[in-house]
């Protein structure tokens, strides 16, 4: 079974050319399948086994979305086994994950977002973090997209940056003036670091490409220092970018393009955020909505 897994992961890397992060996610989800499966040979698995695994995961309080992601990974694995190893059927076919209650992504208010990214450039790392957080909020990047940015992705003349997102798809997104100013200030001092990764846009103190964990830690530290009294994570800046642009423009298609969503239904969650914002304004401002 482990040999099948290794072959499939190689297929994802070399034939489908998925990113290392996506490959890691597949590997994690498929190892869960092997762990749940025990001694049952993969070729003997049926829909009954998969339903039992889904029930087990649900009993562990795993959410519907996580289970759906796992089922997708398992389904793709069995399709590979059918095509390459003569398996007769896909036991995951037609099986759905339990539904999860819909929850809106958390976003900062515009004032909170501005407060967070308004960092005094007191030292080299502060200048780097200022540029990094301004870019996060300015362009709605994913964490993996930000840390993988290279110097040549930034076009200072046009005020854009080329981003490689999910599925190795590239898109060009605008960079706001505040972010451009912060990036130019960072680039001016970046060369003074002991550079080990010459291509990376954002570097650690030692000159290596900044890791995702380091970005998460620095963001949390800045949120505390800037007086943001909620837990802030990188994806919250992406949510904030999307909801604030949509509130100002109402252009769902443009937000979809900038976020790099393949399906506009993924972007439509921000219309609910926008309505939530409008409802709060109504409740606080309309004379007939005020409580006596």
- Catalytic residue ranges: 142, 166, 235, 238, 261, 270
Strands 154-155 and 170-174: unpaired
CA distance 207 to 148: 14
Of 225, 219, 224, whose CA–CA distance to 240 is shortest? 219
- Helix/strand/coil for 288: coil
DSSP codes, 108-144:
--HHHHHHHH-----SHHHHHHHHHHHHHHHHT--HH
Which residues in 126-203 belong to E strands, given as ranges? Answer: 154-155, 160-164, 170-174
What radius of gyration do the chain's Cα atoms show?
23
């Amino acid at each position: 079974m482990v040999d099948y897994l290794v072959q499939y992961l190689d297929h994802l890397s070399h034939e489908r050319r998925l990113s290392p992060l996506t490959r890691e996610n597949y590997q994690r989800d498929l190892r869960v399948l092997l762990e749940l499966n025990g001694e049952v040979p993969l070729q003997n698995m049926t829909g009954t086994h998969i339903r039992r695994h889904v029930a087990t995961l649900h009993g562990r309080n795993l959410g519907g979305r996580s289970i759906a992601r796992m089922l997708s990974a398992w389904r793709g694995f069995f399709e590979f086994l059918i095509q390459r190893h003569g398996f007769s059927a896909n036991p995951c076919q037609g099986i759905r994950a339990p539904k999860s209650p819909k929850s809106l992504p958390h976003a900062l208010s515009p004032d909170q977002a501005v407060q967070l990214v308004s960092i005094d450039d007191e030292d080299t790392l502060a200048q780097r973090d200022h540029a990094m957080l301004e870019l996060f909020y300015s362009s709605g990047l994913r964490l993996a997209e930000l840390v993988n940015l290279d110097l040549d992705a930034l076009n200072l003349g046009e005020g854009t940056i080329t981003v490689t997102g999910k599925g190795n798809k590239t898109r060009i997104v605008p960079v706001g003036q505040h972010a451009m100013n912060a990036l130019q200030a960072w680039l001016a001092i970046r060369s003074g670091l002991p550079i080990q990764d010459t291509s990376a846009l954002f570097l650690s103190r030692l000159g290596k490409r900044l890791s995702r964990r380091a970005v998460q830690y620095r963001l949390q530290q800045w949120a505390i220092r800037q007086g943001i009294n909620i837990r802030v994570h990188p994806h919250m800046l992406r949510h904030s970018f999307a909801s604030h642009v949509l509130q100002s423009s109402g252009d769902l298609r443009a937000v979809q393009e900038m976020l790099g969503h393949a399906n506009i239904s993924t972007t439509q969650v921000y219309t609910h955020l926008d309505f939530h914002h409008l409802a709060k304004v109504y409740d606080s401002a309309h004379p007939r909505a005020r409580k006596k």
